[in-house]
Amino acid sequence: MRAFRKTTTAALGVAVLTLSACAGIDTSGSGGGLLGEFEPSERQTMIVPMSAGGGSDLSGRAIASGLEEVTGRTMSVENQDGGGGAVGYANFLGLQGNASHLLATETALVNLGLTQDVPFNWESFTPVMKVGQDSTVVVVKSDSPYDTCPDVVDAAKEGKVLAAVSGGATGNDAIQFGLIEKDQGVAFQRVPYESGGEAIAAVLGGHVDVGLTNPGEVIGQFESGDLKPLCVIAEKRYEYEELADIPTTVEQGIDVTFSQFRGVIAPGGLTDEAVDYWVDASKLYVKTEAFQEYMSSNYMQVDTAFGSDFAAYLKGYEAELKAGLG
Amino acid sequence: MTATAASRNTAHRDTGAWVMRVLLLALGAAVLVAGISYGVRTPDGHVGPGMMPAAAGAVMLLAGAWESLKAFRSGREATDGDDSTVSSGAEGAEDEDSQLDVFGRTTAQRNRAVAVVFGVIALGVALTYAIGLLLGLSLMVAVLLTFVEKKPLWVGVVWGAGAFAFGYLVFGLALNVPLATGALGLI
Amino acid sequence: MLENILLGFQTSLTPENLLWCFAGVLLGTVIGMLPGLGATTGVAILLPLTLTMEPVTALIMLAGIYYGCQYGGTIAAVLIATPGDANAVATVVDGYALARKGQAGKALAIAAIGSFVAAIASLVLLMLVAAPIASVALKFGPAEMLAIMIMGLLTIISFSGDNLAKGLVMAGLGIFLSTIGMSSGFVEARFTFGSINLLGGIDFVVVMIGVFAVGEVVSQIGDGGVKPIRTRMRDMMIRGKDVKDSMPAILRGSGIGFLLGCLPGAGSTLAALVGYGVEKQVSPNRKMFGKGAIQGVASAESANNAAANANFVPTLALGIPGGTTTAVLLGAFVMYGIQPGPLLFDDQPALVWGLLTSFFIGNVILLVLNLPLAPAFAQVLRLPYRYLYPAILFFSMLGAYAVQNNLFALPVLFVAGVAGFFFKKFDYPTAPLILGVVLGPMVEKALVQTSSYADGDLTVLFKEPLSLGILILTVVIMLVPKLVGRFSRDRTAEAATPTPVA
C-alpha cells in the first residue's frame, strides 16, 4: 500500500503541514491540463478508517467512485478500522507527502486528537473537501409526553431524563448532548449504546426517553409514526420535503448547531500542485449527479468547503467540540 | 486413557505447569490492581471503567488460587474419575498430557520441533513487515516444508508459490483485501 | 399470507434471481470458510458490485452471502479447528473432536442438516410473526440484556469441561483482553500503553485464530507427526440414527438461537455459545460433550443459523439492524432507494416476500451443496499433516490480517498461538477464553447501561420481572441437570454411553 512513494519523493522532506501552508492553497492559479500541473499516479487509494458497511464507508466509497469519474484514474477503497478511527488516521500519518492516498473523514479527525492519546490532530493532514453535514435529529417515541426539544430540557430540569448515546463516550451524540446541557444548564442521564440501531431500539422500547439519530436511519419510523422528531440540531431546516417540517434547535431557543461533517483529507506535506489537483477534482465531483444522489439518498445537507475553507471550518469545529466535551 | 496416570503425575509434573500458574496469577493480580486504579465505580456511583478489568483480575486470581491449591493437594482431587484431565474438546482425543512418548521421540526432540516451528512463524511475521504480507507468508510456507519438514526444495517452492497465488487471487483480487506491501513495497 | 408467499416465489424463482441466489450462497460458503473473513466483510465488499442490479436481486444475493457464510464457517471449524466465521466458535469444540476421530464428514453433515432445519424453522417464524416478535424484542431493556449476558457467562461452566477452575481463569483472561483499547461506555482507553494498535483493541477473531489454529498446529507437531486420518466410508456418511439423535438438540438450538437473534445487540456468536452451553447441560449425551458429541455440533450450528435468520426480524419489521451484517444490508436498502422501516412489509411486498422466499431456496441449495460436499471436504484431512499445517498457518495468518487489514494482527496472532500451545499443554480449556473475549464487551455494555438506567443500582436486575425470569431460567438450566446427576450417580454413568433418548 505504500508503493507510490516515488511519485512524491520530493515532497517527503516537507514538515507537518501547518495552517499557514494551508492558507497558500488557492485553486485560481492552476493552469495547464484539466486538473492543473500535477499528474497523479495511475492508482489512487481512499482509506476509510472505519469498518466496512458503516456511514463513513458508504461516504468513502461514494466519493471514491465519484473522483474516479472526474480524474479518470482508478481509486480503490481500503478499510482500516480500529480505535474509533485512530488506527487508520495513525497509518495515514505515515503517508506524509504521498499524494496518491486520500482518507474519508468525519468528526473523529478532530475528536480523537482531543480525547485520546494519539500522535496526530487535524492539522497533521491536508484538508481537501467537506461535502456537507450529516445532521442529527432529536427523537422520542410516538407516545412520549415531549413535543419539542425545550420540553425535554424542561423535564431534565425537574427530574431524570434518560438519553441514548451511541458512538462512544466522546462521540458525536455525547458532544451534542454535552453542548445542549451546557447551553441550557441541565444534565441528562446518558445510557451508552454501541450503534445507532441499538439506540433507536431502546427509544422505541421505552428504555430511554430521548435519542439522537441521523434521519436516514429512521425515515421509515417517521413515516409509520413510531418515532416523533422533536428538532434537528442545525441552524437551517432540512430542504428535503419529508424532513422540512422538523424545527431547528435555534428556532426552539437552543443555541446548538453542532453536526457531524463528512469529507476527504490528504496526507500532510503535499506540494501545492498536488493539493490543487485534489481540490480541483473535488470541485468537479460535487457538480456531478452522483454526488447529489449520494447526498440526498442519505439525507445529508450539502454544504461544501474546499482546501483552506475546510481548514478554517475545522478550526472552528475544534473549538466547538472542546466546549461540548468539557 | 492415561487419565489416572496423569492425575497422579499432576503434583510433580514439570515445573512448567507451575510457571504457567504463577504467570496467570501474576497477570490476574496486575489486572486487578489496574482495574482498581481505573476506578471500579465512578464518583457518582455508576459502573466505572475499572469494574470489568477488576472483576476479570479477581476471577483470575481466585480461580487460579483455587486451581493451584487443588493441584498442590493433587492425587485425589478428581472424584469423577474417568475424565479428569480432558478439559476442552478442542484438543480431541490425542492430547499429550502425559510424559509418555508415543512416537518414540524424546521430550527434548519434541520441544525442539515446537520451538523451531514457532521460530519460523515469528520469522514469517517479521518478514511481512519487511517484504509484505503475501511474500512473507509464502516464504514461511516454503521454509517450513523445505527446512523444517526436510522436503525437496521444489516441494517447498511449489507450496509457497501456490499459497502466494491463492492469496493473491482470492484475497487480493476477488475479495479486494488490501494486502500490505511492507517496508519495501514490492507487491 | 398464502398470496404473499406466492408473490414471493414469483419474484425469487425468476431465472435471474435464482442464479444470483446460487452465486450468493456459494460465495458466502467460500468467504465463510476463509478464516478472518466473515459475513459482514463479505457483504460489505460485494455491496458496490450489486448497485447495478435490481434491488430485490441484489438483496437476494447479499442475503445469500450472509447465510451461506454461516454454513461455510463450519467447514474450517470442523476440519482444522479454526472457526472460519466467528459464529462457528462453539462448533470447534465437538466438531474438531469428531474430526480427530475420523468423523469429520459426519460432523459437517449434521452441521448442514442442523443449519437447514434451524433456518427453515426460523424462517417460518419470521414470516408468520415477525412484527409481534419484534415488538416483544423491544421490551428487552438494559436489565434484561444484562440477565442474558449473565446467562452467556454461565455457559463457561459448559465450556470448561471438567476443570471449572482453569476455565474460570481462562474466562477472566479473555474478559481482560476484551477491555484493552477504547470502549463505548467510557472516555478513557484502557491498557493501551500509548500504542495506537492497542487503542484499537484486540480483535477476538484474531485471538480465536491464534489460540485455535496456530496453537493446535504446534500442539500437533509437539505430539509428533499426526497420522493422516483414514476414515472408513461408514464413518464419513451420516446415518439416520445420528440425525434422529440430534433432532432434539437441533430444535432446542433453533429455539434459543431464534430468541437471542431477535434482540438487537445480542448476536449470533452469543446464540451459538448459549445454544451449545445449554445443550451440554440438558442433553442425554452430555457426558460426551467436548469429546466429540454430534449433538454439540448440531446445537451450536442450529443456534447460530436460527440467530442469523432471526436478525432479520428487527431488520425487516422495524428497520433496526439485528446485527452487524444486517446493518450493512440496511445500508444497502438505502442505496437502492428503498426505505426500511415498519412499513416495509406493506410498501414493498414483492421485495420482502421475494427476499424471504429466496431464503428457502438458498437454504435448500446450501443443504444440497453441503451434504455431498461434507465427505469430500473431509478428504482434506487425509493429506499428510506436514503438508497440511503450513497451509493452515498461511490461511490463518492471512485471515487474521484481513480482519482489520492491519499487520498488527500478526504479532497478536503469534502471541495468542504461543499462549494457546501452552494452554493445551497444561490443560487449560481454550473455549472459555474466547467466550470471555466475545462476551466481555457485551457484559460491560449491559452493566453500564443498567447502571445508567437505574442510577447505579444494579439490583434492578432482580426487580424487573423479565430479567428475574431470565435469571431463574438460567439457574434452572445450568444447575438442575448437575444436581440431578449428583443425586443419581449410576444413572449418570449410564448416560455416559451415548444412548439415544428422543
List the single residue in B with minimal CA-CA distance to A45: B178
Query: Is C411 an interface residue toward B (CB < 8 Å)?
Result: yes
Chain A residue numbers with beta carbons less than 8 Å from the beta carbon of C406 are: 80, 82, 87
Residues in chain C: 502
- For domain A5-134+260-325, give its CATH number from 3.20.20.450, 3.40.50.300, 3.30.450.20, 3.40.190.150: 3.40.190.150
Q: Which chains contact B through at least 3 pairs of Cβ atoms less than 8 Å apart?
A: A, C
Do the domains at A5-134+260-325 and A136-243 have one common CATH topology? yes
List the single residue in A with minimal CA-CA distance to B186: A3
pLDDT, position A131? 95
Chain C residue numbers with beta carbons less than 8 Å from the beta carbon of A53 are: 40, 43-44, 47, 324, 327-328, 331
**Kind plus residue range of the DSSP H or E element containing B165:** helix B153-166
- CA distances (Å), C206 to each of A87, A186, C85, in order? 16, 43, 11
Three-state SS at A268: coil
Question: Following CA atoms A161, A163, A168, A169 in sequence, which dihedral angle do they give, to the nearest 10 degrees?
Answer: -20
Pairing of strands A162-166, A126-134: unpaired
User: Cβ C449–A191 below 8 Å, yes or no?
Assistant: yes
The candidate with the shortest Cα–Cα distance to C358, out of C123, C134, C131, C132, is C123
pLDDT, position A168? 84
Q: Which of B84, B89, B144 sits opposite C290 (nearest CB)?
A: B89
User: Cβ C265–A198 below 8 Å, yes or no?
Assistant: yes
Categorize the per-residue pLDDT at C479 as very low, low, confident or very high, splitting at 50, 70 and 90.
confident
Task: For residues C480-494, give the mean pLDDT.
Answer: 59
Cα C477 to the center of its chain, rounded Å: 21
d(CA A109, CA A103): 10
User: Cβ B114–C222 below 8 Å, yes or no?
Assistant: yes
End-to-end Cα, chain B, rounded Å: 51
List the single residue in B with minimal CA-CA distance to A48: B178
- Residue to mutate among B25, B73, B91, with most C CBs inside 10 A, is B91
Higher pLDDT: B94 or C218? It is C218
Q: Which of A52, A86, A198 sits opposite C196 (nearest CB)?
A: A86
d(CA B148, CA A125): 47
d(CA A10, CA B18): 58
Residues 50-109, chain C: which have Cβ within 8 Å of A?
Answer: none
Inside any domain, residue C378: no
Q: At A34, list the grid cell.
A: 484539466
What does the pLDDT look like over B97-109, one tens digit per residue?
444 444 556 777 8
What does the pLDDT look like over C46-93, one tens digit per residue?
888 888 889 999 999 999 999 999 999 899 899 888 887 778 889 998
Chain B residue numbers with beta carbons less than 8 Å from the beta carbon of A5 are: 185
Q: At C469, list the grid cell.
A: 425470569
Contact by Cβ (8 Å): C223, B117: no
Question: Following CA atoms A161, A164, A167, A173 in sequence, which dihedral angle do they give, to the nearest 10 degrees?
Answer: -50
What does the pLDDT look like over C260-302, one tens digit per residue?
999 887 788 899 999 999 999 888 988 899 889 999 999 999 9
Q: Which of C48, C334, C405 sits opposite A216 (nearest CB)?
A: C334
DSSP string, C388-426: HHHHHHHHHHHHHHHHHT-TTHHHHHHHHHHHHHHHHHT
Q: Which chains contact A through at least 3 pairs of Cβ atoms less than 8 Å apart?
A: B, C
Contacts (Cβ under 8 Å, ≥6 apart) of C407: B128, B129, B133, B180, B182, C401
Query: Is C443 an interface residue toward B (CB < 8 Å)?
Result: yes
- Residue to mutate among C197, C218, C223, with most B CBs inside 10 A, is C223
**Kind plus residue range of the DSSP H or E element containing C215:** helix C215-223
Contacts (Cβ under 8 Å, ≥6 apart) of C135: none
Q: At C282, list the grid cell.
A: 440438558
Longest dimension (CA), chain C: 65
Structural domain including C349 reads 2-373+385-496
Backbone angles phi, psi at A106, to 5 degrees: -155, -160
The candidate with the shortest Cα–Cα distance to A14, out of A190, A290, A262, A271, is A271
pLDDT, position A186? 94
Contact by Cβ (8 Å): A152, A200: no
The residue ranges of every structural domain in chain A are 5-134+260-325, 136-243
Neighbours of A167 (CB within 10 A): 23
User: Cβ B185–A3 below 8 Å, yes or no?
Assistant: yes
End-to-end Cα, chain C, rounded Å: 33
Task: For residues C94-122, give the mean pLDDT.
Answer: 92
d(CA C285, CA C280): 8
Q: Sheet holding A227-233: strands in order across? A: A189-193, A162-166, A210-213, A136-141, A227-233
Longest dimension (CA), chain B: 68
Residues 457-496, chain C: which have Cβ within 8 Å of B?
Answer: 458, 496
Inside any domain, residue C380: no
List the single residue in B with minimal CA-CA distance to C95: B90
- Helix, strand, coil tally for chain B in percent (to 5): 65, 0, 35
* pLDDT at C485 > cutoff 90: no
Question: What is the assigned CATH class of domain A136-243?
Answer: alpha beta
Report how many Cβ contacts below 8 Å link chain A to chain B: 14
pLDDT, position C497? 45
Inside any domain, residue C146: yes
Contacts (Cβ under 8 Å, ≥6 apart) of C46: C27, C61, C62, C65
Contacts (Cβ under 8 Å, ≥6 apart) of C296: B89, C90, C93, C94, C95, C249, C276, C279, C280, C288, C289, C290
DSSP string, C102-145: T-HHHHHHHHHHHHHHHHHHHHHHHHHHHHHHHHHHTT--HHHH
DSSP 8-state assignment for residue A300: P
Chain A residue numbers with beta carbons less than 8 Å from the beta carbon of C452 are: 162, 189-192
Domain count, chain C: 1
Three-state SS at A245: coil
List the single residue in C with minimal CA-CA distance to A162: C453
Per residue of chain A (326 residues), what is the pLDDT tens digit?
333 333 333 333 333 333 333 333 333 333 344 566 677 777 889 999 988 777 888 899 999 999 998 988 889 888 888 888 899 999 999 999 899 999 999 999 998 988 888 999 999 999 999 999 999 999 999 999 999 999 999 999 999 999 999 888 888 899 999 999 999 999 999 999 988 888 999 999 999 999 999 888 888 899 999 999 999 999 999 999 999 999 999 999 999 999 999 999 999 999 999 999 999 999 999 999 999 999 998 899 999 999 999 999 999 999 988 887 77
Backbone angles phi, psi at C191, to 5 degrees: 50, 40
What does the pLDDT look like over B33-70, one tens digit per residue?
999 999 999 888 899 999 999 999 999 999 999 999 98
* pLDDT at B159 > cutoff 80: yes
Task: For residues B18-27, give the mean pLDDT.
Answer: 95
Chain C residue numbers with beta carbons less than 8 Å from the beta carbon of A64 are: none
> How many angstroms away from the CA of C140 is the closest CA of chain A?
7
> How many angstroms away from the CA of B178 is the closest CA of chain C?
7
Radius of gyration in angstroms for the set of CA atoms belonging to chain C, rounded to a whole number = 22
* pLDDT at C249 > cutoff 60: yes
Kindly give the residue spans of alpha helices, DSSP state H, lying in C160-214. 164-178, 196-199, 204-208
Pairing of strands A162-166, A210-213: parallel
Which residues are paired to A76 by β-bridges?
A45
Higher pLDDT: A313 or C160? It is A313
List the single residue in B with minimal CA-CA distance to C99: B92
Query: Is B105 an interface residue toward C (CB < 8 Å)?
Result: yes
pLDDT, position B176? 80
Query: Is B52 an interface residue toward A (CB < 8 Å)?
Result: no
Query: Is B98 an interface residue toward A (CB < 8 Å)?
Result: no
Pairing of strands A162-166, A189-193: parallel
DSSP 8-state assignment for residue C227: P
What does the pLDDT look like over C366-425, one tens digit per residue?
999 988 888 888 888 888 888 889 999 999 999 999 888 889 999 999 999 999 999 999
pLDDT, position B6? 46
User: Cβ B51–C444 below 8 Å, yes or no?
Assistant: yes
Contact by Cβ (8 Å): A204, A141: yes
d(CA A249, CA A313): 20
Neighbours of C394 (CB within 10 A): 24
Query: Is B174 an interface residue toward A (CB < 8 Å)?
Result: no
Residues 129-168, chain B: which have Cβ within 8 Å of C?
Answer: 129, 133-134, 137-138, 140-141, 144-145, 149, 151, 159, 163, 167
- Residue to mutate among B73, B87, B184, with most C CBs inside 10 A, is B87
The candidate with the shortest Cα–Cα distance to C75, out of C459, C285, C485, C374, is C374
Pairing of strands A210-213, A136-141: antiparallel
Contact by Cβ (8 Å): A167, A199: no
User: Cβ B86–C161 below 8 Å, yes or no?
Assistant: yes
Residues 262-301, chain C: which have Cβ within 8 Å of B?
Answer: 289-292, 296
Contact by Cβ (8 Å): C191, B34: yes
> How many angstroms away from the CA of A192 is the closest CA of chain C?
6
Check residue A128 and give left, alpha or beta (phi > 0: left; psi -120 to 50: alpha): alpha
